[in-house]
Structure 1
Amino acid sequence: MPSLDVGSAADDTLELRFPAELLPLLAEADLLESPAAWGAAATPFGAFRLEPVRLERDLDLLTRWMNDPEVAAFWDLAGPVSRTAAHLCEQLDGDGRSIPCLGVLNGTPMSYWEIYRADLDPLARHYPARPHDTGIHLLIGDGTNRGRGLGTALLRAVADLVLDNRPRCTRVIAEPDMRNTPSVSAFLNSGFRCSAEIDLPEKRAALMIRERALRNLL
């Protein structure tokens, strides 16, 4: 897979790069609608929905997940509850560019998601962003839910929820760590393609893209 830099001329990157300071103006003021209004998605494992995080309700659970060794290896948020709280509060107290959510399957919280405006994120400095690109981060909180295809099913469901509820968004973006083979595989199996490898400050990442125009073909 080729490495991508700002001057790359890969087929899917021949488009105008907007200066970072102009992107908020292109956002037309609206940032992210609450995923709470998106409803549930049917998956082979049951009904799945996104529930925005409430700190007083969810902090202990999320701290426990962040201290799971398999999660900590890539999220780097292991430690006391204050560390998880600081990470969450940065989004909860922000301007709406990122919304932290619990993933609830058949009524049980079992994963953590961040839905964010990739075009208004520092990530946009590392790839040719389009207005309203929407990014996702995720982790599966319970090890018993890993390694059985659940991540693939949920990634497809969440990407569909984004595209169904954000009509201006033409692409769903993700940037899993290249070392996280199960995560990269789950994205590929859920209809994303690997556009490039990019060097971010904290990792070398696979730039994963799911195109609205191809959603029914992949």
Structure 2
Amino acid sequence: MPPTDASANAGTAPVTDAGTTSPTAHESRIGPAADAGADSEDTLDLHLPDEFVALFAEDTGADGSRSLGATATAGQASASATSAVTVEGTGTGTGTGTGTGTGTGACAPENPPASTTPNPDDLLGDVADWGPVNTPAGALHLVPVRIERDLPIISRWMNDPAVTAFWGLAGPENAIEEHLRSQLVGDGRSVPCMGLLEGTPMSYWEIYRADLDPLARHYPARPHDTGVHLLIGGIRDRGRGIGGTLLRAVADLALDKRPACARVVAEPDIRNTPSVAAFLTAGFRFSAEIDLPAKRAALMIRDRSLRHLL
């Protein structure tokens, strides 16, 4: 899991493996004919009743054209109707859903259902459409990162000594580009964003599905938990309490835009006192100390049920 902070911390990259499902083949078996003797002929001399033959009698029109009899046509229509499969389903709109299906007929549909590969927009919703949102510090807009536009400024921020201690991403641009691109080409469970305050880039964010992240191995995750990481990039914006203001706005934005999400979580380094204080100011509660691969972290949680009290 990537770092989390108002001036932030290091972690592991989000998971990108997706499961696959394989359809199960259903076999139809026909047993041998009853009472077939050793001297049976290969071809049976089958005599159909006259009534059965009448069902498939062909009508000859005045112009010499032929068509199936009315009874056969009706039977064909009935067979077509009963072989159709109707499926009804409901989904949460955030990447998981439940469905019920009903079907009639003795055969499966010709074309099997499409693969259930996750839709990137379903895991977090379209973060690009979340903002802007008004805050006491001004209008904040989260804009998904574009490598060619944003890499130079993000690289500069990550190489700031005050940031390096917690994010651990200092280095050449290509290393930071790899960190960004791994999220951008993933399945949508983590979205790196630039934070624009009144139109000016001043922060870097990662909005991610905490329940689908390695973080979930270290705390009692709940479905649709949304994680947030924050780096205040501009030096002039640090140390004046703006982190808590922006964190509250983005956490509430996630709760507003993701109805299935009951909690926003974060895991700043326990040593990063200003970061922990910023989350407390933003209405997060301290839940526990947890040991992560790269740090000991403070698990911070903003609950939907408590958002108007904290």
Whether TM-score is above 0.5 comes out as yes
The 2-side partners of 1:150 and 1:35 are apart by 22
Residue 255 of structure 2 is matched in structure 1 by 163
Q: Secondary structure at the match of 1:147?
A: coil
Asked if 1:66 is matched to 2:66, the reply is no
The 2-side partners of 1:171 and 1:155 are apart by 14
Give how far 1:85 is off: 0.3
Residue 27 of structure 1 is matched in structure 2 by 96
Misfit runs of 4+, over 3 Å = 26-29
TM-score (structure 1 length as normaliser)? 0.87
85, 90, 93: which one aligns with 2:177: 85
Residue 97 of structure 1 is matched in structure 2 by 189
Give how far 1:34 is off: 2.2
The 2-side partners of 1:43 and 1:150 are apart by 10
The 1-side partners of 2:282 and 2:230 are apart by 14
Asked if 1:134 is matched to 2:203, the reply is no
Matches within 5 A, 1:107-118: 107-118=199-210
The 1-side partners of 2:190 and 2:163 are apart by 20
Q: CA RMSD in A?
A: 1.4
C-alpha contact 1:175 1:205 (8 A) present in aligned 2:
yes
TM-score (structure 2 length as normaliser)? 0.61
Q: Secondary structure at the match of 1:31?
A: helix
Q: Secondary structure at the match of 2:221?
A: coil
Max Rg structure: 2
128, 131, 149: which one aligns with 1:39: 131
179, 196, 206: which one aligns with 2:298: 206
C-alpha contact 1:156 1:190 (8 A) present in aligned 2:
yes
Q: Which amino acid aligns with 1:109?
A: P
The 1-side partners of 2:136 and 2:298 are apart by 26
The 2-side partners of 1:83 and 1:177 are apart by 22
Post-superposition Cα deviations, 1:117-157, rounded to whole Å, max 9, x if no partner, equal 00000000001111000000110001110111100100000
Residue 148 of structure 1 is matched in structure 2 by 240
The 2-side partners of 1:127 and 1:142 are apart by 32
Give how far 1:42 is off: 1.2
Residue 216 of structure 1 is matched in structure 2 by 308
Q: Which structure shows the bigger proportion of residues in helix conformation?
A: 1
Q: Which amino acid aligns with 2:295?
A: K
| Percent sequence identity over aligned pairs | 69
C-alpha contact 1:38 1:161 (8 A) present in aligned 2:
yes
Identify unmatched segments of 5+ residues in structure 2. 1-17, 20-94, 98-117
The 2-side partners of 1:125 and 1:153 are apart by 29
